[in-house]
């Protein structure tokens, strides 16, 4: 069992509360004349949005509050992330969607692509065409043209000029943020980790709702220093015997925190997130030399998401993190009806089996209805790890 009340200062709470304070923050930004661009996916190059003096904001919803409303238009057997995001859009309940002047979508999974068509009836939606084969030269050339077209779209929509110099500055800023978030989650390589997996997740997830860059950087630096201090003082809330878990699969946050809770209530501790909430976003840096559009195109095309075929970069990252964080087992979180991740589960299982790393895949949605079932399965997995 993990205690959540180790002595981290209030700065930590500011990440947990960032999303909740969204409406006021967004209203202030809009009142100051800022343009807002909403995004759904890690493949969208946020540096271009930043270079235009615009505010990028994540629109993926993580609660089931509006799913019933969404199901009046969308099939019920669709991924909850897509249904919830659309539901919040049509009910005007998401301040980030409400205040977005433009929604930047991407051709990743089929459900999202088709949802963007419907969303386009109520919002200004621009969809970047993402190739599915990272290793082809033609994919790179095509994606580079899409990156440039996105830049042009922002320039014409918002009447701004996005120069190479502005792009280079944005790349540097975002790289700095990535480096800090990586430094933060790498603190959990310690044995025991200085923070619980739930805290780590709340910080990683919460930073995307911090819109003042300097403030965000300062808070991240302070948080890292505070965590180091509690770790050095031997105040970890985690038992040395807790089984070290890496989470892979679909993006997390909000309702899916339930999975981390059940793992950490069953004798495990989540030390690393390989998914888009964690390392998939922050592990690498965009090249700061050379042409900025090319550097962005290369960086984003290399993301290891299951919508790519083949998808070797997910395996490379997974293997590296398992060794770095000395994990005892890997838990995959699958959102219901996410076909690309669900099909890739077999590849992941075989890959980890060859390396003798125990693995379990758990499917869930945004409701609380399956918590008991998740608890049973997570507890059995951790018990099995303890018996090895
Ligand atoms: S880069 S993980 S953010 S696509 S869970 S909506 S894939 S059916 S979120 Fe994702 Fe970009 Fe990949 Fe990351 Fe579809 Fe699956 Fe739902 Fe998903």
8 A C-beta contact, residue 304 and residue 314: yes
Residue 79 CB–ligand 1 contact under 6 Å: yes
Residue 81 CB–ligand 1 contact under 6 Å: yes
8 A C-beta contact, residue 123 and residue 101: no
Residue 252 CB–ligand 1 contact under 6 Å: no
* Spacing, Cα 226 to ligand 1 middle (Å): 33
The CA-atom distances, in angstroms, between 157 and each of 46, 49, 89, 125 are 16, 12, 21, 11
Kindly give the number of the ligand 1 atom that is closest to the alpha carbon of 109.
14
Nearest Cα residue to 246 out of 200, 312, 281, 285: 200
Specify the pLDDT at position 5: 45
Strand bridging mode 55-58 / 36-39: parallel
Task: Give the count of beta carbons closer than 10 Å to the beta carbon of residue 287.
Answer: 15
Specify the pLDDT at position 9: 52
8 A C-beta contact, residue 279 and residue 272: yes
* Owner of token pair 């003798």: 356
Return the axis-axis angle of helices 197-206 and 164-186, rounded to nearest 10°: 170
Q: Give the residue, out of 311, 338, 362, with the most ligand 1 atoms within 8 A of its beta carbon, to mutate for a pocket test.
A: 338
Q: What is the pLDDT along the chain (388 residues), one digit of tens a residue?
A: 565 545 555 666 666 676 677 778 888 888 999 999 999 999 999 999 999 999 999 997 888 999 999 999 999 999 999 999 999 999 988 889 999 999 999 999 999 999 999 999 999 999 999 999 999 999 999 999 999 999 999 999 999 999 999 999 999 999 999 999 999 999 999 999 999 999 999 999 999 888 999 999 999 999 999 999 988 888 888 999 999 999 999 999 999 999 999 999 999 999 999 999 999 999 999 999 999 999 999 999 999 999 999 999 999 999 999 999 999 999 999 999 999 999 999 999 999 999 999 999 999 999 999 999 999 999 999 999 999 9
8 A C-beta contact, residue 209 and residue 22: yes
User: Distance between CA 175 and CA 286 in Å, rounded?
Assistant: 7
Give the list of residues 6+ apart from residue 241 with CB closer than 8 angstroms, or none.
267
* Owner of token pair 């082809």: 136
C-alpha angle 256-267-365 in degrees, rounded to nearest 5: 15
Specify the pLDDT at position 13: 65
Specify the pLDDT at position 24: 82
Residue 108 CB–ligand 1 contact under 6 Å: yes
* Spacing, Cα 114 to ligand 1 middle (Å): 14
Return the axis-axis angle of helices 10-18 and 213-232, rounded to nearest 10°: 130
8 A C-beta contact, residue 198 and residue 257: yes
Nearest Cα residue to 337 out of 121, 88, 114: 114
Find residue 102's DSSP bridge partners. 37
* Spacing, Cα 138 to ligand 1 middle (Å): 23
Specify the pLDDT at position 295: 98
Phi-psi region of 46 (alpha: psi -120 to 50; beta: other; left: phi over 0): alpha
Specify the pLDDT at position 130: 98
Specify the pLDDT at position 61: 82
Specify the pLDDT at position 247: 98
Structural domains of the chain, ranges and CATH numbers in brackets: 10-162 (3.40.50.11890), 166-387 (3.40.50.11900)
Residue 202 CB–ligand 1 contact under 6 Å: no
Assigned token pair, 282 = 């922050």
Report the predicted TM-score, pTM, of the whole model to 2 decimal places.
0.94
- Rg over alpha carbons for the chain, rounded to the nearest Å, is 20
């Amino acid at each position: 069992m993990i205690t959540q009340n180790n002595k981290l200062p209030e700065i930590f709470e500011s990440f947990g509360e960032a999303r909740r304070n969204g409406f006021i923050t967004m209203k202030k930004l809009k009142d100051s004349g800022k343009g807002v661009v909403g995004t759904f996916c890690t493949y969208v190059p946020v540096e271009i949005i930043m270079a235009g003096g615009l505010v990028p904001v994540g629109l993926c919803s993580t609660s089931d509050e509006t799913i019933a409303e969404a199901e009046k238009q969308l099939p019920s057997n669709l991924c909850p992330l897509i249904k919830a995001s659309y539901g919040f859009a049509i009910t005007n309940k998401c301040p980030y969607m409400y205040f977005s002047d433009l929604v930047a979508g991407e051709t990743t999974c089929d459900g999202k692509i088709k949802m963007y068509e419907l969303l386009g009836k109520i919002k200004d939606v621009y969809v970047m065409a993402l190739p599915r084969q990272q290793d082809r030269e033609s994919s790179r050339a095509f994606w580079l043209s899409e990156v440039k077209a996105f830049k042009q779209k922002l320039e014409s929509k918002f009447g701004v000029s996005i120069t190479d110099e502005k792009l280079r500055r944005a790349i540097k800023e975002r790289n700095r943020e990535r480096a800090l978030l990586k430094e933060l989650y790498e603190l959990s390589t310690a044995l025991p980790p200085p923070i619980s997996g739930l805290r780590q997740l709340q910080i990683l997830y919460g930073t995307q709702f911090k819109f003042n860059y300097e403030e965000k950087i300062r808070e991240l630096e302070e948080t890292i220093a505070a965590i180091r201090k509690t770790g050095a003082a031997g105040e970890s809330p985690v038992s040395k015997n807790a089984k070290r878990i890496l989470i892979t699969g679909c993006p997390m946050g909000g309702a899916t925190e339930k999975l981390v809770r059940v793992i950490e209530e069953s004798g495990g501790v989540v030390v690393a997130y390989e998914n888009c909430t964690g390392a998939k976003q922050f592990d690498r840096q965009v090249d700061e030399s050379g042409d900025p559009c090319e550097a962005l195109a290369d960086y984003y095309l290399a993301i290891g998401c299951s919508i790519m075929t083949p998808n070797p970069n997910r395996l490379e990252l997974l293997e590296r993190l398992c060794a770095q964080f000395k994990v005892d087992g890997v838990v995959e979180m699958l959102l219901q009806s996410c076909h690309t991740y669900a099909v890739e589960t077999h590849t992941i299982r075989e890959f980890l089996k060859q390396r003798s790393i125990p693995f379990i895949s758990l499917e869930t949605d945004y409701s609380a209805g399956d918590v008991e079932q998740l608890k049973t399965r997570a507890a059995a997995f951790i018990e099995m790890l303890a018996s090895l």
